[in-house]
Amino acid sequence: MPARLIESLATTGPLADLFSDHSVLQAMLDFESALARAEASAGVIPEAAAKAITGAAKAASFDAAALAHGALRAGTPGIPLAKALTAKVAKADPEAARFVHWGATSQDVADTAIILVLKRARPILLGDLSRLEAALRKLSERQKKNVMLGRTLMQAALPVTFGLKAAGWLGSIRRGREGIESAFTQALVLQFGGASGTLASLSENGPSVFRALAVELGLALPDAPWHAHRDRLAALVCACGVLTGSLGKMARDISLLMQSEVGEAAEPGGDGRGGSSTMPQKRNPIACALTLAAAQRLPGLVSAFLSAMVQEHERAVGGWQAEWPILAEVVQSAGLAIASMAEAAEGLSVDARRMRENIEATEGTVFAERASMLLREKLGRDKANKLLETAIRKSAKQKRHLAKVLAEMREVNSHLPKATLRRLEIPEEYLGSSENFRKSLLASAQNPRDKKEP
Protein backbone atom coordinates (compact mmCIF):
# COMPACT_ATOMS: atom_id res chain seq x y z
CA MET A 1 0.00 0.00 0.00
CA PRO A 2 1.47 3.39 -0.95
CA ALA A 3 1.75 6.09 1.70
CA ARG A 4 -0.98 8.70 1.83
CA LEU A 5 0.13 11.92 0.13
CA ILE A 6 0.14 13.83 3.41
CA GLU A 7 2.53 11.21 4.87
CA SER A 8 4.72 10.86 1.77
CA LEU A 9 7.69 12.53 3.51
CA ALA A 10 7.13 10.72 6.80
CA THR A 11 7.22 6.99 6.08
CA THR A 12 8.45 4.27 3.75
CA GLY A 13 6.45 1.92 1.54
CA PRO A 14 6.85 -1.14 3.81
CA LEU A 15 5.99 0.84 6.94
CA ALA A 16 3.03 2.56 5.30
CA ASP A 17 1.72 -0.88 4.43
CA LEU A 18 2.37 -2.15 7.95
CA PHE A 19 0.40 0.69 9.55
CA SER A 20 -2.39 0.61 6.95
CA ASP A 21 -6.01 0.01 7.94
CA HIS A 22 -5.88 -3.51 6.53
CA SER A 23 -2.75 -4.45 8.49
CA VAL A 24 -3.92 -2.99 11.81
CA LEU A 25 -7.38 -4.51 11.39
CA GLN A 26 -5.87 -7.91 10.69
CA ALA A 27 -3.71 -7.61 13.81
CA MET A 28 -6.85 -6.99 15.87
CA LEU A 29 -8.55 -9.97 14.26
CA ASP A 30 -5.42 -12.08 14.84
CA PHE A 31 -5.85 -11.36 18.55
CA GLU A 32 -9.50 -12.41 18.50
CA SER A 33 -8.88 -15.63 16.58
CA ALA A 34 -5.83 -16.53 18.69
CA LEU A 35 -7.88 -15.90 21.84
CA ALA A 36 -10.57 -18.29 20.64
CA ARG A 37 -8.01 -21.00 19.88
CA ALA A 38 -6.28 -20.52 23.24
CA GLU A 39 -9.59 -20.78 25.06
CA ALA A 40 -10.56 -23.87 23.10
CA SER A 41 -7.28 -25.52 23.99
CA ALA A 42 -7.97 -24.78 27.67
CA GLY A 43 -11.51 -26.16 27.40
CA VAL A 44 -13.13 -22.78 27.98
CA ILE A 45 -15.03 -22.63 24.67
CA PRO A 46 -15.92 -25.32 22.12
CA GLU A 47 -13.35 -26.21 19.47
CA ALA A 48 -16.00 -25.62 16.80
CA ALA A 49 -16.46 -22.05 18.03
CA ALA A 50 -12.73 -21.39 17.75
CA LYS A 51 -12.71 -22.66 14.18
CA ALA A 52 -15.68 -20.50 13.24
CA ILE A 53 -14.14 -17.39 14.79
CA THR A 54 -10.77 -18.02 13.12
CA GLY A 55 -12.48 -18.59 9.78
CA ALA A 56 -14.31 -15.28 10.00
CA ALA A 57 -11.31 -13.22 11.18
CA LYS A 58 -10.17 -12.00 7.76
CA ALA A 59 -9.65 -8.27 7.37
CA ALA A 60 -10.75 -8.22 3.75
CA SER A 61 -14.32 -9.02 4.74
CA PHE A 62 -14.67 -6.08 7.14
CA ASP A 63 -15.37 -2.40 6.51
CA ALA A 64 -12.42 -0.57 8.05
CA ALA A 65 -14.03 2.84 7.56
CA ALA A 66 -17.16 1.74 9.42
CA LEU A 67 -15.04 0.34 12.24
CA ALA A 68 -13.12 3.61 12.46
CA HIS A 69 -16.37 5.53 12.70
CA GLY A 70 -17.59 3.15 15.38
CA ALA A 71 -14.33 3.51 17.31
CA LEU A 72 -14.84 7.26 17.39
CA ARG A 73 -18.26 6.74 18.96
CA ALA A 74 -17.15 3.99 21.37
CA GLY A 75 -13.80 5.46 22.40
CA THR A 76 -11.99 2.28 21.36
CA PRO A 77 -11.73 0.20 18.18
CA GLY A 78 -12.22 -3.01 20.17
CA ILE A 79 -15.94 -2.53 20.73
CA PRO A 80 -17.09 -2.09 17.11
CA LEU A 81 -14.67 -4.82 16.05
CA ALA A 82 -16.12 -7.32 18.53
CA LYS A 83 -19.64 -6.46 17.33
CA ALA A 84 -18.70 -6.81 13.67
CA LEU A 85 -16.86 -10.08 14.23
CA THR A 86 -19.76 -11.46 16.25
CA ALA A 87 -22.15 -10.64 13.42
CA LYS A 88 -19.81 -12.21 10.88
CA VAL A 89 -19.47 -15.43 12.90
CA ALA A 90 -23.21 -15.59 13.56
CA LYS A 91 -23.94 -15.87 9.84
CA ALA A 92 -21.97 -19.11 9.68
CA ASP A 93 -22.46 -20.46 13.21
CA PRO A 94 -24.89 -18.69 15.56
CA GLU A 95 -23.79 -20.84 18.50
CA ALA A 96 -20.12 -19.93 17.99
CA ALA A 97 -20.91 -16.21 17.84
CA ARG A 98 -21.55 -15.96 21.56
CA PHE A 99 -17.92 -16.94 22.26
CA VAL A 100 -16.36 -14.05 20.31
CA HIS A 101 -14.11 -11.85 22.48
CA TRP A 102 -14.74 -14.21 25.45
CA GLY A 103 -13.21 -12.85 28.66
CA ALA A 104 -11.32 -10.02 26.94
CA THR A 105 -11.68 -6.28 27.16
CA SER A 106 -11.44 -3.74 24.35
CA GLN A 107 -8.01 -2.53 25.50
CA ASP A 108 -6.67 -6.07 25.24
CA VAL A 109 -7.51 -6.00 21.53
CA ALA A 110 -6.05 -2.55 20.92
CA ASP A 111 -2.85 -3.09 22.89
CA THR A 112 -2.07 -6.53 21.53
CA ALA A 113 -2.83 -5.42 17.98
CA ILE A 114 -0.29 -2.59 18.16
CA ILE A 115 2.23 -4.97 19.73
CA LEU A 116 1.75 -7.35 16.79
CA VAL A 117 2.29 -4.46 14.37
CA LEU A 118 5.44 -3.46 16.25
CA LYS A 119 6.65 -7.05 16.08
CA ARG A 120 6.34 -6.90 12.29
CA ALA A 121 8.04 -3.48 12.20
CA ARG A 122 11.10 -4.76 14.03
CA PRO A 123 12.71 -6.69 11.13
CA ILE A 124 12.04 -3.79 8.76
CA LEU A 125 13.91 -1.34 10.97
CA LEU A 126 16.71 -3.75 11.85
CA GLY A 127 17.17 -4.78 8.23
CA ASP A 128 17.73 -1.18 7.14
CA LEU A 129 19.99 -0.61 10.14
CA SER A 130 22.15 -3.53 9.04
CA ARG A 131 22.42 -1.97 5.57
CA LEU A 132 23.41 1.34 7.09
CA GLU A 133 25.98 -0.15 9.44
CA ALA A 134 27.59 -2.18 6.66
CA ALA A 135 27.78 0.89 4.41
CA LEU A 136 29.34 3.03 7.13
CA ARG A 137 31.89 0.36 7.98
CA LYS A 138 32.97 0.16 4.32
CA LEU A 139 33.01 3.94 4.04
CA SER A 140 35.21 4.27 7.12
CA GLU A 141 37.68 1.69 5.82
CA ARG A 142 37.87 3.28 2.37
CA GLN A 143 38.35 6.76 3.79
CA LYS A 144 40.67 5.97 6.70
CA LYS A 145 43.58 7.91 5.16
CA ASN A 146 41.54 10.70 3.63
CA VAL A 147 42.23 13.88 5.62
CA MET A 148 39.75 16.72 5.96
CA LEU A 149 39.16 19.72 8.14
CA GLY A 150 37.75 19.06 11.54
CA ARG A 151 35.17 21.67 12.36
CA THR A 152 34.33 22.99 15.80
CA LEU A 153 31.60 25.57 16.42
CA MET A 154 31.19 25.55 12.59
CA GLN A 155 34.75 26.85 12.15
CA ALA A 156 37.80 25.18 10.61
CA ALA A 157 39.78 23.23 13.19
CA LEU A 158 42.54 20.62 13.30
CA PRO A 159 42.43 17.95 10.59
CA VAL A 160 40.67 14.63 11.07
CA THR A 161 40.07 11.74 8.69
CA PHE A 162 36.80 11.11 6.97
CA GLY A 163 37.22 7.52 8.10
CA LEU A 164 37.06 8.68 11.72
CA LYS A 165 33.97 10.80 11.02
CA ALA A 166 32.16 7.84 9.42
CA ALA A 167 33.20 5.60 12.31
CA GLY A 168 31.77 8.13 14.73
CA TRP A 169 28.44 7.98 12.93
CA LEU A 170 28.58 4.20 13.01
CA GLY A 171 29.38 4.10 16.73
CA SER A 172 26.39 6.20 17.75
CA ILE A 173 24.05 4.36 15.40
CA ARG A 174 25.20 0.98 16.74
CA ARG A 175 24.55 2.17 20.30
CA GLY A 176 21.12 3.34 19.18
CA ARG A 177 20.49 -0.04 17.57
CA GLU A 178 21.34 -1.84 20.80
CA GLY A 179 18.90 0.41 22.63
CA ILE A 180 16.10 -0.16 20.16
CA GLU A 181 16.65 -3.92 20.02
CA SER A 182 16.49 -4.15 23.79
CA ALA A 183 13.37 -1.98 23.88
CA PHE A 184 11.65 -4.11 21.24
CA THR A 185 12.43 -7.24 23.23
CA GLN A 186 10.90 -5.73 26.35
CA ALA A 187 7.86 -4.30 24.56
CA LEU A 188 6.74 -7.31 22.54
CA VAL A 189 4.56 -8.82 25.26
CA LEU A 190 0.96 -9.97 25.31
CA GLN A 191 -1.81 -7.81 26.71
CA PHE A 192 -4.71 -9.82 28.13
CA GLY A 193 -6.35 -8.93 31.41
CA GLY A 194 -10.07 -8.60 30.98
CA ALA A 195 -12.11 -5.88 32.62
CA SER A 196 -9.81 -4.98 35.54
CA GLY A 197 -6.66 -6.90 34.70
CA THR A 198 -7.56 -10.00 36.74
CA LEU A 199 -9.16 -12.30 34.12
CA ALA A 200 -11.90 -12.92 36.70
CA SER A 201 -14.34 -13.93 33.97
CA LEU A 202 -12.19 -16.96 33.17
CA SER A 203 -12.04 -18.13 36.78
CA GLU A 204 -9.33 -20.75 37.34
CA ASN A 205 -8.70 -20.98 33.57
CA GLY A 206 -7.24 -17.47 33.41
CA PRO A 207 -3.55 -18.43 33.72
CA SER A 208 -3.74 -21.29 31.21
CA VAL A 209 -5.50 -19.13 28.61
CA PHE A 210 -3.01 -16.33 29.30
CA ARG A 211 -0.09 -18.65 28.53
CA ALA A 212 -1.74 -20.31 25.53
CA LEU A 213 -2.63 -16.95 23.97
CA ALA A 214 0.98 -15.75 24.22
CA VAL A 215 2.11 -18.91 22.42
CA GLU A 216 -0.54 -18.53 19.72
CA LEU A 217 0.59 -14.98 18.97
CA GLY A 218 4.32 -15.56 19.38
CA LEU A 219 4.58 -12.89 22.07
CA ALA A 220 6.37 -12.93 25.39
CA LEU A 221 4.27 -13.58 28.49
CA PRO A 222 4.34 -10.69 30.99
CA ASP A 223 4.08 -11.24 34.72
CA ALA A 224 0.64 -9.66 34.66
CA PRO A 225 -1.59 -7.53 32.42
CA TRP A 226 -0.23 -4.00 32.02
CA HIS A 227 -3.25 -1.90 31.04
CA ALA A 228 -2.14 1.20 32.95
CA HIS A 229 1.63 0.55 32.93
CA ARG A 230 3.10 1.88 29.72
CA ASP A 231 6.82 1.82 30.56
CA ARG A 232 7.78 -0.83 28.01
CA LEU A 233 6.24 1.07 25.12
CA ALA A 234 7.65 4.32 26.47
CA ALA A 235 11.15 2.82 26.47
CA LEU A 236 10.72 1.83 22.82
CA VAL A 237 9.50 5.31 21.91
CA CYS A 238 12.48 6.87 23.69
CA ALA A 239 14.90 4.45 22.02
CA CYS A 240 13.48 5.43 18.62
CA GLY A 241 13.96 9.07 19.56
CA VAL A 242 17.60 8.58 20.55
CA LEU A 243 18.42 6.56 17.44
CA THR A 244 16.74 9.10 15.18
CA GLY A 245 18.72 11.86 16.88
CA SER A 246 21.95 10.03 16.01
CA LEU A 247 20.77 9.63 12.43
CA GLY A 248 19.92 13.32 12.39
CA LYS A 249 23.47 14.18 13.47
CA MET A 250 24.82 12.16 10.54
CA ALA A 251 22.35 13.86 8.20
CA ARG A 252 23.33 17.29 9.49
CA ASP A 253 27.01 16.58 8.87
CA ILE A 254 26.44 15.30 5.34
CA SER A 255 24.15 18.18 4.40
CA LEU A 256 26.78 20.66 5.58
CA LEU A 257 29.50 18.84 3.63
CA MET A 258 27.23 19.11 0.56
CA GLN A 259 27.07 22.90 0.70
CA SER A 260 28.40 24.41 -2.52
CA GLU A 261 31.05 26.33 -0.60
CA VAL A 262 32.29 23.12 1.04
CA GLY A 263 31.67 20.43 -1.58
CA GLU A 264 33.40 17.57 0.24
CA ALA A 265 30.69 14.90 0.01
CA ALA A 266 27.37 14.32 -1.74
CA GLU A 267 24.38 12.02 -1.56
CA PRO A 268 23.68 9.83 -4.58
CA GLY A 269 21.71 11.57 -7.30
CA GLY A 270 19.71 10.51 -10.33
CA ASP A 271 16.32 8.86 -10.70
CA GLY A 272 14.53 12.01 -9.60
CA ARG A 273 16.63 12.43 -6.44
CA GLY A 274 17.70 15.85 -5.25
CA GLY A 275 16.55 17.92 -8.17
CA SER A 276 15.05 21.39 -8.10
CA SER A 277 11.82 22.50 -9.76
CA THR A 278 13.54 25.69 -10.98
CA MET A 279 17.33 25.22 -10.75
CA PRO A 280 18.61 22.30 -12.88
CA GLN A 281 22.14 22.50 -11.49
CA LYS A 282 21.13 21.62 -7.94
CA ARG A 283 21.78 18.33 -6.16
CA ASN A 284 19.86 18.63 -2.94
CA PRO A 285 20.45 16.54 0.21
CA ILE A 286 17.10 14.74 0.10
CA ALA A 287 17.92 11.79 2.37
CA CYS A 288 19.34 14.27 4.87
CA ALA A 289 16.25 16.46 4.63
CA LEU A 290 13.91 13.52 5.30
CA THR A 291 16.04 12.35 8.21
CA LEU A 292 16.33 15.80 9.75
CA ALA A 293 12.57 16.25 9.42
CA ALA A 294 12.07 12.97 11.28
CA ALA A 295 14.57 14.03 13.94
CA GLN A 296 12.62 17.24 14.44
CA ARG A 297 9.30 15.40 14.81
CA LEU A 298 10.49 12.77 17.26
CA PRO A 299 11.20 14.87 20.39
CA GLY A 300 7.63 16.16 20.50
CA LEU A 301 6.22 12.69 19.94
CA VAL A 302 8.43 11.24 22.67
CA SER A 303 7.27 13.98 25.02
CA ALA A 304 3.62 13.32 24.17
CA PHE A 305 3.99 9.61 24.86
CA LEU A 306 5.75 10.21 28.17
CA SER A 307 2.99 12.60 29.18
CA ALA A 308 0.40 9.92 28.43
CA MET A 309 2.13 7.47 30.80
CA VAL A 310 0.48 8.97 33.87
CA GLN A 311 -2.60 6.76 33.80
CA GLU A 312 -5.33 6.27 36.36
CA HIS A 313 -5.78 3.11 38.43
CA GLU A 314 -6.43 -0.10 36.46
CA ARG A 315 -7.64 1.47 33.18
CA ALA A 316 -7.02 5.00 32.04
CA VAL A 317 -9.15 7.65 30.41
CA GLY A 318 -7.34 9.40 27.54
CA GLY A 319 -3.85 7.99 28.18
CA TRP A 320 -3.74 4.79 26.17
CA GLN A 321 -6.23 6.21 23.69
CA ALA A 322 -3.53 8.73 22.73
CA GLU A 323 -0.93 6.11 21.90
CA TRP A 324 -1.79 4.48 18.56
CA PRO A 325 -1.13 7.53 16.34
CA ILE A 326 1.96 8.45 18.36
CA LEU A 327 3.46 4.97 18.08
CA ALA A 328 2.65 4.80 14.39
CA GLU A 329 4.36 8.11 13.68
CA VAL A 330 7.36 7.35 15.90
CA VAL A 331 8.12 4.01 14.26
CA GLN A 332 7.53 5.31 10.74
CA SER A 333 9.67 8.39 11.35
CA ALA A 334 12.50 6.32 12.77
CA GLY A 335 12.17 3.82 9.94
CA LEU A 336 12.27 6.54 7.31
CA ALA A 337 15.39 8.07 8.89
CA ILE A 338 17.13 4.70 8.96
CA ALA A 339 16.25 3.87 5.34
CA SER A 340 17.22 7.35 4.15
CA MET A 341 20.63 7.27 5.80
CA ALA A 342 21.25 3.74 4.54
CA GLU A 343 20.65 4.97 0.99
CA ALA A 344 22.85 8.00 1.56
CA ALA A 345 25.72 5.99 3.04
CA GLU A 346 25.59 3.32 0.33
CA GLY A 347 25.89 5.90 -2.43
CA LEU A 348 27.85 8.70 -0.74
CA SER A 349 30.49 10.27 -2.96
CA VAL A 350 33.54 11.82 -1.31
CA ASP A 351 35.74 14.48 -2.93
CA ALA A 352 39.21 14.00 -1.44
CA ARG A 353 40.68 16.72 -3.61
CA ARG A 354 38.17 19.28 -2.37
CA MET A 355 38.88 18.24 1.23
CA ARG A 356 42.58 18.91 0.66
CA GLU A 357 41.81 22.24 -1.02
CA ASN A 358 39.72 23.32 1.95
CA ILE A 359 42.61 22.54 4.29
CA GLU A 360 44.95 24.53 2.05
CA ALA A 361 42.51 27.44 1.98
CA THR A 362 43.11 28.03 5.70
CA GLU A 363 46.71 29.07 4.87
CA GLY A 364 47.93 26.66 7.53
CA THR A 365 46.30 28.53 10.40
CA VAL A 366 44.56 25.34 11.55
CA PHE A 367 48.04 24.10 12.52
CA ALA A 368 48.56 26.94 14.98
CA GLU A 369 48.09 24.53 17.89
CA ARG A 370 50.88 22.33 16.56
CA ALA A 371 53.22 25.31 16.25
CA SER A 372 52.23 26.51 19.71
CA MET A 373 52.98 23.13 21.29
CA LEU A 374 56.44 23.09 19.66
CA LEU A 375 57.21 26.62 20.82
CA ARG A 376 55.91 26.12 24.35
CA GLU A 377 58.64 23.57 24.96
CA LYS A 378 61.20 26.27 24.22
CA LEU A 379 59.56 29.52 25.29
CA GLY A 380 56.72 28.73 27.66
CA ARG A 381 52.99 29.10 27.16
CA ASP A 382 52.52 32.88 27.29
CA LYS A 383 55.38 33.83 24.99
CA ALA A 384 54.54 31.08 22.52
CA ASN A 385 50.90 32.19 22.34
CA LYS A 386 51.87 35.83 21.76
CA LEU A 387 54.17 34.85 18.90
CA LEU A 388 51.41 32.75 17.34
CA GLU A 389 48.86 35.55 17.64
CA THR A 390 51.21 37.88 15.80
CA ALA A 391 51.96 35.29 13.13
CA ILE A 392 48.30 34.45 12.56
CA ARG A 393 47.36 38.11 12.09
CA LYS A 394 50.22 38.54 9.61
CA SER A 395 49.24 35.35 7.77
CA ALA A 396 45.65 36.52 7.40
CA LYS A 397 46.62 40.02 6.31
CA GLN A 398 49.21 38.90 3.76
CA LYS A 399 47.35 35.73 2.74
CA ARG A 400 50.49 33.70 3.25
CA HIS A 401 50.87 30.30 4.90
CA LEU A 402 51.47 30.34 8.62
CA ALA A 403 54.59 28.18 8.36
CA LYS A 404 56.25 30.68 6.01
CA VAL A 405 55.42 33.59 8.29
CA LEU A 406 56.80 31.72 11.30
CA ALA A 407 59.99 30.84 9.41
CA GLU A 408 60.70 34.57 9.01
CA MET A 409 60.34 35.33 12.73
CA ARG A 410 63.69 35.26 14.53
CA GLU A 411 62.11 34.27 17.84
CA VAL A 412 60.72 31.22 16.10
CA ASN A 413 63.44 30.07 13.70
CA SER A 414 66.06 30.35 16.41
CA HIS A 415 64.24 27.58 18.28
CA LEU A 416 62.57 25.50 15.56
CA PRO A 417 64.56 23.94 12.70
CA LYS A 418 63.59 24.81 9.13
CA ALA A 419 62.77 21.15 8.47
CA THR A 420 60.26 21.21 11.33
CA LEU A 421 58.60 24.33 9.99
CA ARG A 422 58.46 22.89 6.46
CA ARG A 423 56.53 19.90 7.79
CA LEU A 424 54.31 21.94 10.09
CA GLU A 425 51.32 21.95 7.73
CA ILE A 426 51.32 18.30 6.68
CA PRO A 427 47.91 17.13 7.99
CA GLU A 428 48.82 13.43 8.05
CA GLU A 429 51.48 14.21 10.64
CA TYR A 430 49.05 15.83 13.08
CA LEU A 431 46.20 13.37 13.33
CA GLY A 432 47.00 12.22 16.84
CA SER A 433 45.10 9.06 17.79
CA SER A 434 42.57 9.33 14.96
CA GLU A 435 43.25 5.87 13.59
CA ASN A 436 43.22 4.24 17.01
CA PHE A 437 39.88 5.84 17.77
CA ARG A 438 38.51 4.83 14.37
CA LYS A 439 39.48 1.21 14.91
CA SER A 440 38.01 1.25 18.42
CA LEU A 441 34.70 2.59 17.11
CA LEU A 442 34.53 -0.06 14.41
CA ALA A 443 35.38 -2.79 16.91
CA SER A 444 32.69 -1.67 19.36
CA ALA A 445 30.15 -1.46 16.53
CA GLN A 446 30.83 -4.99 15.40
CA ASN A 447 27.96 -7.45 15.58
CA PRO A 448 28.47 -9.46 18.77
CA ARG A 449 27.99 -12.67 16.81
CA ASP A 450 30.95 -11.75 14.60
CA LYS A 451 33.34 -10.79 17.40
CA LYS A 452 36.19 -13.19 17.98
CA GLU A 453 36.75 -14.58 21.43
CA PRO A 454 39.90 -13.16 23.07
Q: Would residue 349 show up in a list of annotated catalytic residues for this protein?
A: no
Q: Which of 182, 276, 307, 349 is catalytic?
A: 276
Q: Which of 211, 315, 376, 400 is catalytic?
A: 315
177 exposure class (CB count in 10 Å sphere: 0-12, 13-18, 19+)? buried
Residue 220 β-bridge partners = 189
Q: Would residue 315 show up in a list of annotated catalytic residues for this protein?
A: yes
Where in the sequence numbering do the catalytic residues fall?
276, 315
